[in-house]
Structure 1
Amino acid sequence: MASVRAFLGGVGFFVQGLRWMARHPGSWLFGLLPAVVTAVLYIGVLIFLGTRADDISAYFTPFADDWNAALRNTMRAVIAIVVFGAGLAVAVLTFTPITLTIGDPFYQKLSERVEESYGEVPEGIDESLWRSIVRSVKDSLATLGYALLFTVPLFFLGFVPGVGQTVVPVLGALVSGFFLTAELTTLAMERRGILRKERFAILRANKATAVGFGVVTFLIFLVPLGAIIAMPVAVAGAAIMVRLNLAAASEGTAAPDARVG
């Protein structure tokens, strides 16, 4: 029961981010810019992949040129679908870290504005912009690597009849939600000097809250244009969640998954 309350608390932090944005529409528009840029790039890549999936499939299966036409076309159609599906899955997994990297100055400022509305803003890590970008990219790659350890097996399990249409989508949403939260909470946690290893330890200790926040974000991101519109909301909600729940838990002032804001 406590885990359910913590999960719903995580969802509640996204709602709090939405409320904050509704009160500060200028900040919402400010935060849309990097998401729009990333979305345009990704849409272009996916259109290319979708229109060339058949050619890619044929390129990697020259051994099938002499097969029966029906068998050859069926196999290549399946491979083309898998190629496009894999590209779409990678796009979903990488949209947030790429957007946060492209829009780092925007989202840093947005996250700080959210925290200012709650009181004093932590000073953050004293390092050069270049070093900050390099560390951010390394952390995002590490997080993506962890995510792929789970999502790649789930992708192939998706082709298993029954399981692929029921269990796998649920597990995929939970896994993707957790790693989305890991990315989105980076700004507010690093502002407190909490780097990747400690950050993941905090998220694991508050897993239900982290998953609740991430799952609602993930589901909204799947809606057409949802990722663009909801990205500033997710950044704001993550800042609120870290300030009211996760940072306090890391300091020992709250039990894991206890404070749901």
Structure 2
Amino acid sequence: MEMTGKCRLLGIVAALATATPVVAADAADVYGAPPIESGWKYQVALDGWFTALDGSIGLRGLPAADVNVSALDAIEHLEGAFAASFQATGDSWLLYSDFMWSKISADADVGPFGGTVGFEQEQVLFTALVGYEVPVNIQNMQLYATGGLRYQHYSVDLSIDPVFFPGINRSGSQSWVDPIVGMALHYDINDRWFVDVMADVGGFGIASDITLQGTATVGYNWTDTISSSFGYRALYTDHSDGGFRYDATQHGLFTRLSFHF
């Protein structure tokens, strides 16, 4: 008799254990509880930046020279370029990095009596960010506070060839890393269209006096795994070290082809 009672008790416990997930699921459906998402989402992208360059660049022994290269001139004189980015989001975290290499060269006539100035620049940019989601009361929007590092490398050649004086040639290169803080925003307009915005500020006199960057794009989801976006990007850096001076802004149209998994 005692054994029969124990068997009945064990049967009731087993039945309750089996029914609990079903009851919880039914309760979630009844009360409209949102589904719990787990796992991370990843994005790999190929980027294109049709950039103009405006500012002043100085090398050892030469005063800073004004450099103004339009986006069309940059494309015309582009010798090579590659840009890509990676992003991962999950558990309220954002991991982001992008890389760009480019090389341009241009010549310009200067002075009332003629003469030329030659300019060549090879550039490497690498940014690495970690972000944490900030609560916002806007549906379909994710806002992250970000912090990280930006590495910049420039190899610059300047040549001045006046008509009545001997020509001058100078070359130099400089690499540095700036701490940066900023924000990243993603907003789904609907299941197809979306907006991405990223902005940061850094340097703070540690390497650059200041560096500022901003990107704003509108995108479209072609499939669940492929999207493209189009917008504008600008990067300003004021950096000097020894005889190297770089105080310039790169800005222009920005495109991205992304693969999601």
For normalisation by structure 2, the TM-score amounts to 0.31
Of Structure 1 and Structure 2, the greater helix share is in 1
Higher strand content, 1 or 2:
2
Larger RCO (CA within 8 A; separation ≥ 6): 1
Which structure has the larger Rg?
2
